[in-house]
């Protein structure tokens, strides 16, 4: 029993940094929303959108991330860079964002909208925040209808249709900015878990 407890303690210590949604703290200029990069080699935009909508964090459903400021874009890109393997594989290291082009819209720059009712995606030269790579959107190969961040592992946007370039997708949880303060710190969660395990071992020992 003691060995079992030691093993659990060792596993907790050896665990990587808290994986899961990361809050963009209002104290750091953030909106209090949480963001998570999901690795999913070659996933389609539509499938990523479905999965994101079914994820929950602190009771809030997710959506593919909608990026409307430089600060938000940089926060998400930092998370992306933390996750992607800079070596070969997963091609361009792009992650899907919550932006798409309306069907039958003029190519390459017509009808781009954020999902989640967040309005039009500005094109290069428009007012409002945008981060298109030079020459994008270009509807390369006549089939690029969805927005991705990370073309060639750069901090840029690209209209993408080729799933070979996709490393995964970004989920955003629109938390109430007040709520994050009530979320336990990861170490607290680990200690809670350890406490529960210890209590369970203790009560079993008492019964035996």
Q: Which two tokens stand for residue 202?
A: 């203790």
Q: Decide if 165 contacts 157 (C-beta within 8 A).
A: no
Give min distance, CB of 65 to Ca ion, in A. Answer: 6
Q: Decide if 102 contacts 110 (C-beta within 8 A).
A: yes
Separation of alpha carbons 126 and 197, rounded Å: 56
Sign of the CA dihedral running 24, 25, 30, 32: positive
Shorter beta-carbon distance to Ca ion: residue 77 or 158 = 158
Give min distance, CB of 16 to Ca ion, in A. Answer: 26
Interacting span for Ca ion (CB under 5 A) from 14-22, 39-47, 151-159, 197-205: 151-159
Q: Exposure of 67 by Cβ count < 10 A (0-12 exposed, 13-18 middle, 19+ buried)?
A: buried
Give min distance, CB of 62 to Ca ion, in A. Answer: 11
Q: Are strands 94-101 and 60-64 parallel, antiparallel or unpaired?
A: unpaired
Interacting span for Ca ion (CB under 5 A) from 9-17, 48-56, 124-132, 154-162: 154-162
158 is a contact residue toward Ca ion (CB under 5 A): yes
Question: What track of x and - describes contact with Ca ion for positions 115 through 144 (by CB under 5 A)?
Answer: ---------------------x-x-x---x
Cis peptide bond upstream of 108, omega within 30: yes
Shorter beta-carbon distance to Ca ion: residue 44 or 138 = 138
Shorter beta-carbon distance to Ca ion: residue 16 or 117 = 117
Closest CA to 1 of 201, 200, 191: 201
Shorter beta-carbon distance to Ca ion: residue 35 or 90 = 35
Separation of alpha carbons 64 and 147, rounded Å: 10
Interacting span for Ca ion (CB under 5 A) from 19-27, 34-42, 84-92, 155-163: 155-163
Q: Which two tokens stand for residue 54?
A: 């079914």
Interacting span for Ca ion (CB under 5 A) from 76-84, 150-158, 178-186, 188-196: 150-158
Binding site residues, Ca ion, CB under 5 A: 66, 136, 138, 140, 144, 158-159
């Amino acid at each position: 029993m003691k060995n079992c407890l030691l093993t659990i303690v060792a596993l907790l210590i050896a665990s990587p940094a808290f994986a899961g949604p990361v809050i963009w703290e209002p104290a750091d200029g953030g909106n209090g929303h949480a963001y998570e990069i999901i690795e999913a080699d070659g996933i389609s935009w539509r499938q990523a959108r479905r999965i994101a909508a079914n994820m929950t964090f602190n009771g809030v459903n997710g959506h593919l991330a909608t990026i409307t400021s430089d600060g938000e874009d940089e926060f998400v890109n930092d998370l992306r860079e933390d996750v992607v393997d800079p070596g070969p594989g997963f091609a361009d290291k792009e992650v899907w964002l919550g932006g798409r082009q309306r069907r039958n819209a003029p190519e390459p720059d017509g009808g781009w909208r954020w999902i989640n009712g967040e309005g039009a995606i500005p094109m290069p030269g428009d007012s409002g925040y945008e981060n298109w790579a030079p020459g994008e959107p270009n509807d390369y190969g006549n089939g690029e209808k969805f927005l991705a961040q990370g073309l060639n592992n750069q901090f840029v946007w690209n209209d993408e249709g080729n799933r070979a370039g996709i490393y995964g997708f970004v989920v955003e949880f629109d938390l109430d900015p007040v709520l994050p303060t009530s979320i336990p710190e990861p170490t607290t969660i680990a200690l809670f878990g350890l406490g529960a395990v210890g209590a369970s071992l203790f009560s079993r020992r008492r019964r035996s």
